[in-house]
Structure 1
Amino acid sequence: MNTLDTIISFAQKTISEEAKAIANLEQLIDQEFAEAVNTIHNSNGRVIITGIGKSAIIASKIVATMNSTGTPAVFMHAADAIHGDLGNILEDDVVICISKSGNTPEIKVLVPLIKNFNNTLIGITSNKESFLGQEADFVLNAFVEKEACPNNLAPTTSTTAQLVIGDAVAVSLLNLKGFSSRDFAKYHPGGALGKKLYLRVHDIISKNEKPQVSPDSDISTVIVEMTEKRLGATAVTDNDKIIGIITDGDLRRMLTTNTSFTGLTAKDIMSPNPKRIDAGAMAIDALDRLEEYGISQLLAEEKGNYAGLLHIHDLMREGIL
Structure 2
Amino acid sequence: MMIKTAIAGASGYTGLELVKLISNHPKASLEAVTSNSYQGKAFTDIFPSMRGFESLVCTPFDAVALSSKVDVVFLALPHKVSMAFAPKLIDQGIKVIDLSADFRFDDAKAYESVYQPHTAPKLLEESVYGLCELNRDRIRSARIIGNPGCYPTSILLPLVPLLKEKLISPQGLISDSKSGVSGAGRSLSLTTHFCEVNESFGPYKVGNHRHTPEINEVLTKAAGEAVSLTFVPHLVPVTRGMVSTIYAQTCKNVAENQIREALNKWYENEPFIRILPPNKFPNISHVKGTNCCDIGFHLEPESGRLILVSGIDNLLKGAAGQAVQNMNIMFDIDEEAGLDWVQTPL
Normalising by structure 1, report the TM-score: 0.31
State the structure with bigger RCO (CA 8 A, min sep 6), 1 or 2: 2
**Structure with higher helix content:** 1
Q: Which structure has the greater CA radius of gyration?
A: 1
Structure-2-length-normalised TM-score: 0.29
